[in-house]
Structure 1
Amino acid sequence: MESMRIDVKFPGGKKVLADFGDMAILTDQSVKSGGEGSAPEPGRLFFAAVAACLGHYALAFCQNRTIDTQGLRVSVRCEPDARTKLIGTVEIEVALPPGFPEKYREAVVRAVEACWVKKHFEHPPLFSVRAI
């Protein structure tokens, strides 16, 4: 993987724009939190990235084996930890399409577990913050 740079801009209100150069992602806060609710909150977007990555791995597994993906679905449920107020448990369900070969059931789970974004929870990066 190559280096990645993300520049953050503030287009108004509670909106935050993460600019990758060739594309950008807008976030906002809920109305309850003082925003307009016009875009996902960063925390939701964070776990949406996990879910999308998991889905990508499930989709790629099926496509690489020419398995019909009609009905393939990945659901991610994030449960908070009452003590820390952070997400404490992430439950992932892969709904397999009709006719999915039984011989691949465990393999598709292993493929989804290999998700690049999920791996960052297992091997978290080091963060360094400084004001310039």
Structure 2
Amino acid sequence: MEYLKVEFPGGLRVDAKLRGHTICTDQPKTSGGEDSAPSPFELFLGSIATCAGVFALSFCNNKNISTDGMNISMELENDRITGLVKKVYLNLQLPEGFPKKYESAIIKSMELCSVKKHLQNPPEFEITAN
């Protein structure tokens, strides 16, 4: 069953269509694109952080804790030889007044992110052409 469809609207843009939404991507100007949208790799990294964010938000909502001022920042450590990301650091800035007793629990909830779990147990890929 088709999950999404990728289309090529011009230039180096590549868009994915799913559930009535369009996920637009482009390449940076330094790579020949127009920089009209994030690159696919930037969206991949964003999906890691936003997935963790969904779990942090849900945790706070379940505990009736305000998320005003809460954010997540990401830093990357790259392998000097391969250039690939070697380590991803997610730093959760807790909102003012966040109960100390829940700090480890909210981090554990963020660890439940399905994007992270798929990276830890990657699917097989099969590419075909018609």
**TM beyond 0.5:** yes
Moved more, 75-84 or 101-110: 75-84
> Alignment identity in percent?
43
Structure 1 counterpart of 2:58: 60
Which consecutive segments of 4 or more residues in structure 1 shift more than 6 A? Answer: none
Determine the C-alpha separation between the residues in 2 that align with 1:4 and 1:112: 29
Structure 2 counterpart of 1:22: 20
Q: CA RMSD in A?
A: 1.2
Specify the code of the residue in structure 2 equivalent to 1:59: L
1:33 aligned onto 2:62: no
Specify the code of the residue in structure 1 equivalent to 2:75: R
How far 1:4 sits from its partner (Å)?
A: 6.2
Alignment of 1:106-117 (within 5 A): 106-117=104-115
Alignment of 1:2-13 (within 5 A): 5-13=3-11
**Cα displacement string for residues 59-111 of structure 1 (whole angstroms, at most 9, x for unaligned residues):** 11001100011111111112221122111110011111111111111100100
Unmatched tracts of structure 2, length 5 or more = none
Paired residues in the alignment total 130
Q: TM-score, normalised by structure 2?
A: 0.95
Equivalent residue in structure 1 for 2:122, among 118, 124, 132: 124
